[in-house]
Amino acid sequence: MNGAVNSMDDLSPGELDDFRRDVRAWLEANCPDSMRTPASDEDEVVWGGSQVSFKTEDHRLWFERMRDKGWFTPQWPTEYGGGGLSSEQAGILAREMARLHCRQPQINLGIWMLGPVLLEFGTQEQKQTHLPPMARGEVRWCQGFSEPNAGSDLASLQMKAVPDGDDFIVTGSKIWTSHADKSDAIYTLVRTDPEAKKQEGISFLLIDMASPGITTKPIELISGKSHFCEVFFDQVRVPQKNLVGELNSGWTVAKRLMQHERQAMAHLGDEGQSPYSLADMAKQYLGCRAAEAGAADSDATEIADAVMRDRVAALDMDDMAYKLTLRRAAEEIAAGDDALATTSTFKYYSTELEKRKNEALMAILGTRALGWDGGLSDEAGGSFTADELAVTRGWLSSKVMSIGGGTTEIQLNVIAKRVLGLPSADDSA
């Protein structure tokens, strides 16, 4: 499914050690120091695509160096622009990047979600057409699944595609489409057999966002920043060669893609989480005191508020346990196990953990977390800082993550049915 080069999966421990040393040396030499810290705001996140932009020269360098190495897609075959690494090698690369705190050089939904699906279900022509530009970060993809009356019950979607010669004529709308107004292409679900059962009449299409008849409308979010959009399709002509998988079998393709989506969202804590250390923020806003006698570092300080100290320690332990579990799952996949069935578990836990961490930040900042504009002043007469405003908006945005990619309630249903094997009268989740 991931397109790894199987002949490299049998490398000896010594060869893997050599690879680790090479990767470590390359990252040390090529990842700029400024790219070894979390992004401080959304403007510092690089999105691949035809409109890619870089806030600094270091952003551009890191993007281009990883692109030229083929490490945007380390496990994809080299013929499609990938790095041709084995699962074990890709795991080493990920761990070495984490060790140096390297940022992801770009965010690209196509690579995380559509690419693996094309490697599994796509025709040779589709792979050759779409994967290399994706692997170079030249095309930005968005996802057209949800509709105004088809959110959690996705299979009830109504946007239709009617055959017309070598094309489909697509009519309808999608909603909650992230970054549709900035994307080059969209992968979407359409109804191609209105008489069939819900899941059996759906197909999976690739559509150029520059096609005549497509319009987008941003949706304002509670956090004040909008990346969600409505997308309207008015008699849009789409080549039938853009059908992925068999006609009316798009639900099978979509379910696989949603597994990859949830797996990607489980890792969004690396890029999407608050960049602020809970402990550091607590010391700054709640004060600190000298550590207990006998501490390894006699100059160490700890959070003065004992209740918050306990809360921060518990969250830090949960975060570490979660990351270790993710690593274990990745190693199981590398060993040949199909761990995709547990992606709903990871997606559920990561979003809930991120919400808990943001709630703790709000509690730490107190009234300083109630700002909305840097020009406004609190009761003490001081303007809110950029960091304080970012904490407030991050808390609001954390709520979104428990909805996107399937709500928390949907994830719990999937976990109950597909992971725990519990019975259910409804198989549509």
pLDDT at 399: 84
Give the whole-angstrom CA distance, residue 124 versus residue 118: 9
Residue ranges and CATH numbers for the domains of the chain are: 6-107 (1.10.540), 141-255 (2.40.110.10), 273-419 (1.20.140.10)
For the chain of 429 residues, list the mean pLDDT of each consecutive stretch of 10. 46 90 97 87 84 94 96 95 92 89 90 93 97 96 92 88 98 94 97 93 98 94 77 98 97 88 59 72 88 56 92 94 80 58 78 93 93 59 79 85 77 82 65
Per-residue pLDDT reduced to its tens digit, 287-300: 888 766 555 554 56
Among all chains, which residue has been given the structure tokens 């075959």?
A: 77
| Lookup: tokens for 200 | 């059996």
How many whole angstroms separate alpha carbon 159 and alpha carbon 232? Answer: 10
35 secondary structure, DSSP code: G
d(CA 344, CA 347): 5
- CA dist 104 and 190 (Å) reads 32
**Residue linked to tokens 């996802």:** 143
Largest CA distance in the chain: 80
CA-CA distance, 64 to 373, in Å (whole number)? Answer: 36
The model's pTM: 0.77
Q: In the structure encoding, which two tokens stand for residue 85, read together?
A: 């690494």
Rounded to 5 degrees, what are φ and ψ at 368? -70, -10
| pLDDT score of 5 | 39
Q: Beta strand 243-244 with 202-208: parallel, antiparallel or unpaired?
A: antiparallel
Q: How far apart are CA 29 and CA 248, in angstroms?
A: 50
CA distance 210 to 146: 20
At residue 386, the pLDDT reads 82
